[in-house]
Amino acid sequence: MTFSLSKFPRRAVTLGLAAMIGFAAPAFAADPRVKFVTSEGDFVVEVYPDKAPKTVENFLQYVKDKHYDGTTFHRVIKNFMVQGGGYDKDYKQKPVRAPIQHEGRAALAKGLKNAPGTIAMARTGDPNSATAQFFINVVDNSRLDPVILPAGDPVTFEFQGQMQKDIPRKQVENHPALFGYTVFGKVVSGMDTVEKIRNQPTGAGGPFPTDVPQKMVVIESAKLVSP
């Protein structure tokens, strides 16, 4: 069988080696929140270290390092998602740390899905390639959720709305298309700002031929705030 990644969010960053690293999960008194101040308004995301610990720790470190300050939402698809956190106002890629290990399946098992208003990590076709870029789902993108295979061999499961019957487990167990995208939080206020970003006219910009807001949307700052 053949799986297609063509409908999944591309990450427009060229990465080096996709080395996997781990972070110790920190102890939080409450679920951390990050306030994004953008040229279109503010929004706040709440992240869940108990559900995606490595992903949250990685994201929060980028926030603490002020990595997102001055970056843009460089990819906006109205009926899909808004993506940012990787390029500055001159369309230059910001330096990033090594990629993190994919946590999508564990996060899904704890209830985090690619539902409207959730935030997830962008990546390349390699499941373990996420660094700093993120996207916010603006519609139900359940087709981006990881596939959790049932027990047994062969296996029958649903993939992008179609049933795949009696597939040998070894053929699909580690197939990149089944990893999906790791959700690690959600927008808890300012979704109207996300809607403004979503509705920006798009076209070519910098190195990208499509989906770039024609009015640049800048993340002026991202910082931790009290829940």
pTM for the complete prediction?
0.86
132: pLDDT strictly greater than 90? yes
Distances in Å between the alpha carbon of 104 and those of 33, 107, 118, 141, 144?
20, 5, 13, 14, 10
- Give the range among 10-19, 38-47, 67-76 with minimum mean pLDDT: 10-19
- Specify whether 119 is located in the same domain as 60: yes
Burial class (CB in 10 A: 0-12, 13-18, 19+), 221: middle
Give the chain's domain count. 2
SS3 content of the chain, % helix, strand, coil (to 5): 15, 30, 55
8 Å CB contact between 128 and 100? yes
8 Å CB contact between 76 and 48? no
H/E element holding 77? strand 75-77
Q: Look-up: residue for tokens 């993506």?
A: 83
- Specify whether 82 is located in the same domain as 193: yes
- Specify whether 91 is located in the same domain as 128: yes
**pLDDT-derived band at 160, boundaries 50, 70, 90:** confident
29: pLDDT strictly greater than 70? no
- Specify whether 92 is located in the same domain as 131: yes
Q: Is 65 within a domain?
A: yes
What per-residue confidence (pLDDT) applies to 166?
94
What per-residue confidence (pLDDT) applies to 17?
31
Q: What is the pLDDT of residues 93-116, one digit of tens each?
A: 999 999 999 999 999 999 999 999
- Specify whether 52 is located in the same domain as 157: no
Amino acid letter, residue 184: F
Spatial CA neighbour of 62 closest among 142, 141, 139, 119: 119
Dihedral angle, C-alpha 168, 143, 61, 14, nearest 10 °:
80
Mean confidence (pLDDT) of the chain: 89
User: In whole angstroms, what is the distance from residue 14 CA to residue 17 CA?
Assistant: 10
User: In whole angstroms, what is the distance from residue 189 CA to residue 126 CA?
Assistant: 32
Residue 55 belongs to domain spanning: 33-145+180-225
Half-sphere exposure of 174 (CA within 13 A, CB side): 3
Spatial CA neighbour of 158 closest among 170, 145, 171, 168: 145
User: In whole angstroms, what is the distance from residue 83 CA to residue 79 CA?
Assistant: 13
Q: What CATH number corresponds to the domain at position 187?
A: 2.40.100.10
8 Å CB contact between 117 and 44? no
Helices (H), the chain: 53-64, 104-109, 169-172, 191-198
- Of the chain, the end-to-end C-alpha distance in Å amounts to 46
H/E element holding 204? strand 202-205
- Specify whether 106 is located in the same domain as 163: no
Q: Is 11 within a domain?
A: no
